[in-house]
A and B are shown apart, each in its own frame.
Chain A
Amino acid sequence: MTAVKPAVVAASKLGLTFQTNDGPVQALSDVDLTIGKGEFVSFIGPSGCGKTTFLRVIADLEKPTSGSITVNGMTPEQAREKRAYGYVFQAAALFPWRTIERNVALPLEIIGLPKAEQAKRIKRTMELVNLAGFEKKYPWQLSGGMQQRASIARALAFEADLLLMDEPFGALDEIVRDHLNEQLLRLWAATDKTICFVTHSIPEAVYLSTRIVVMSPRPGRVTDVIESTLPRERPLDIRETPEFLAIAARVRDGLRAGHSYED
């Protein structure tokens, strides 16, 4: 044990091959990546590049077939059993028969928190995602953006230090997406969480991240890792600055180098 700041996620030579009817598909190959505490790491690449698969491996939703990975120094399974992370899916995945507040309470019920503590956490997270006043609504009564915010509240209520987000804003329109990106950054600054964020939008990745992992398909692999030089404080119009555009250009180059534009 060294005194180095412990890595939240450490993957080495990680590989995952799916056996399909059309033969084996290499979803991940030789992924080496370390994510430190408090980082905001985006994974970007075309479909089939393994970015979602990598997130699912961290979450113990998929088992790697080669290499090794640790989450908080444990295997992903142990980390999941210790409830080390909150996961936000592509869709809000709210239970339609529960009100928003009861949806946020779901993970808390499963951990078995006392009712008073549940109520406190629900109140706090609902305020954090700006949904105060919508506690008693059912999911269908909310817009898509609000539903996704409720699902973020549900992941936050878990109070894990690691937040895994799989294209959470992919299905939303750009105006809502901009707004939620801003809110997410503010939330990240306020809570000091480690966030792994999958996206296929270059501006979104550059705007949000401290580090951008560019991935490429067949086999799914990491082609470039870009450190962002942008300050932590980021107003929306930072996206017009030359610095921002330079990073975006590098991401685009990385994607091109990975032959991502070929098909």
Chain B
Amino acid sequence: MDSLRSKIIPVTTILAVIVAIWYVGAVAMNAPFQRDMDSRNNATPSTMEFIGKTLSQPKPTLPAPHQVARNFFENTFTRKVTSNRSLVYHAWVTLSSTLLGFAFGTALGILIAVGIVHVTTLDRSLMPWIIASQTIPILAIAPMVIVVLAAVGITGLIPKALISTYLSFFPVAVGMVKGLRSPELMHLDLMHTYNASRSQTFWKLRVPASVPFLFASMKVAVAASLVGAIVGELPTGAVAGIGAKLLAGAYYSQTIDIWSALVAGSVVAALLVALVGLAGRLVDRAMGGRPA
């Protein structure tokens, strides 16, 4: 009952409001085209008929929620997962490069953070470059990465994963620098009185202290990885993946397809973030975390 009152009701209320606004928007945005069609066909529909038509166009400017829902449902549950039209298939293609890029990015981010925390030169020299790297628009970088790697014979999963890496290492690096520096002065003094070596201080104090920071930044990183994977599919003319689905939808003005691919993307993102959050909670529990 408590979770019903505290979570489900507020969330469904907001959802209902969004859907309502969406319907109003769909009618408003599809109306000009519908009016145009009607005047050409000399049709004079009643208001209700007119609204019904704006919500059932085959290529609407803004598809209605139920159109997207139907498309999403059909392409997710009624198609074979190996089919080119299955959203599960496309989501899996994007997911695999997301996960690979996320793994690379997390490893790279941790490595950079360890370097920055332990080597003063890296601390001074690396951080500005890391921040600068994120100011370059990914859409400009992605095609070059794909083209350059293709020229040296690397195609397929790796180039897309590298774009995910490019986006996901940053939050992990920044979070882990903060995490590895999070131990209190008193804890560091304590290790000093034990004459602990740098590696002992690192493994016994800095690493465990950084774990909450790692999971917080991994949540951001995994979502960024997905964006990277989708963006990576756009310039390559990829035939599979959520990005490819978006691109194909745009070519053929299949707005409903575009929207249901977007929904698929956000479902994947939500699942990934929830999984990382769950892993974080399990690790926290194992490390004696106080139940909230």
- Which one, A80, A85, A89, contacts B186 given CB within 8 A? A89
From B184, B192, B193, B195, name the one whose CB has the most chain A CB atoms within 10 angstroms.
Answer: B193
Q: Which of A28-36, A106-114, A203-211 contacts B (4 or more CB under 8 A)?
A: A106-114
Given contacts A60-B192, A106-B204, A138-B288, 8 further A-B contacts (CB under 8 A): A60-B193, A80-B195, A87-B193, A93-B187, A97-B208, A97-B209, A97-B289, A98-B288
Using an 8 Å CB-CB cutoff, how does the interface string of B191-207 with A read, 1 for contact, 0 for none? Answer: 11111100010001100
Flag whether B287 is at the interface (Cβ < 8 A). yes
B189 near A61 with CB under 8 A, answer: yes
In the bound complex, CA of A190 to CA of B190 (Å)? 25
CB neighbours (8 Å) of A89 from chain B are 186, 189-190
Instruction: Determine how close the nearest CB of chain A comes to the CB of B261; give it in whole angstroms.
Output: 42
CB neighbours (8 Å) of B194 from chain A are 83, 106-107, 110-111, 158
CB neighbours (8 Å) of B5 from chain A are none
A residues 73-96 touching B (CB-CB < 8 Å): 80-81, 83, 85-87, 89-91, 93, 95-96
How many residues in A have their beta carbons less than 8 Å from beta carbons of B? 26
A95 near B196 with CB under 8 A, answer: no
Flag whether A140 is at the interface (Cβ < 8 A). yes
Instruction: Determine how close the nearest CB of chain A comes to the CB of B215; give it in whole angstroms.
Output: 13
What are the nearest 6 A-B pairs in CB distance?
A138-B288, A97-B287, A87-B193, A93-B186, A110-B194, A97-B208
A110 near B204 with CB under 8 A, answer: yes
B290 near A93 with CB under 8 A, answer: no
Flag whether A59 is at the interface (Cβ < 8 A). yes
Name B's interface SS: helix
Q: A80-B193, A89-B190, A93-B184 are in contact. Are A99 and B288 (CB under 8 A)?
A: yes
Q: A106-B204, A109-B204 are in contact. Are A95 and B187 (CB under 8 A)?
A: yes
B288 near A110 with CB under 8 A, answer: no
Name A's interface SS: loop
Instruction: Determine how close the nearest CB of chain B comes to the CB of A204; give it in whole angstroms.
Output: 21
A61 near B288 with CB under 8 A, answer: no
Instruction: Determine how close the nearest CB of chain A comes to the CB of B193; give it in whole angstroms.
Output: 4
Look across to chain B and name the residue whose beta carbon is closest to the beta carbon of A77: B195
Look across to chain A and name the residue whose beta carbon is closest to the beta carbon of B290: A140
* Subset of 14 A-B contacts with CB under 8 Å: A61-B193, A80-B192, A80-B195, A81-B195, A86-B193, A87-B190, A87-B193, A89-B186, A93-B187, A93-B190, A97-B208, A97-B287, A97-B289, A110-B191
In the bound complex, CA of A106 to CA of B189 (Å)? 14
CB neighbours (8 Å) of B196 from chain A are 110
In the bound complex, CA of A89 to CA of B204 (Å)? 19
Residues of A within 8 A of B (CB): 59-61, 80-81, 83, 85-87, 89-91, 93, 95-99, 106-107, 109-111, 138, 140, 158
In the bound complex, CA of A36 to CA of B102 (Å)? 60
Instruction: Determine how close the nearest CB of chain A comes to the CB of B209; give it in whole angstroms.
Output: 8
B residues 275-290 touching A (CB-CB < 8 Å): 287-290
Instruction: Determine how close the nearest CB of chain A comes to the CB of B201; give it in whole angstroms.
Output: 9
CB neighbours (8 Å) of B208 from chain A are 95, 97
Q: A95-B208, A110-B204, A140-B290 are in contact. Are A85 and B193 (CB under 8 A)?
A: yes
In the bound complex, CA of A90 to CA of B290 (Å)? 23
CB neighbours (8 Å) of A138 from chain B are 288, 290
Instruction: Determine how close the nearest CB of chain B comes to the CB of A49; give it in whole angstroms.
Output: 20
CB neighbours (8 Å) of B204 from chain A are 95, 106, 109-110
In the bound complex, CA of A91 to CA of B185 (Å)? 12
From B194, B209, B289, name the one whose CB has the most chain A CB atoms within 10 angstroms.
Answer: B194
Instruction: Determine how close the nearest CB of chain B comes to the CB of A82; give it in whole angstroms.
Output: 8
In the bound complex, CA of A99 to CA of B288 (Å)? 8
CB neighbours (8 Å) of B290 from chain A are 138, 140
From B195, B205, B208, B289, name the one whose CB has the most chain A CB atoms within 10 angstroms.
Answer: B195
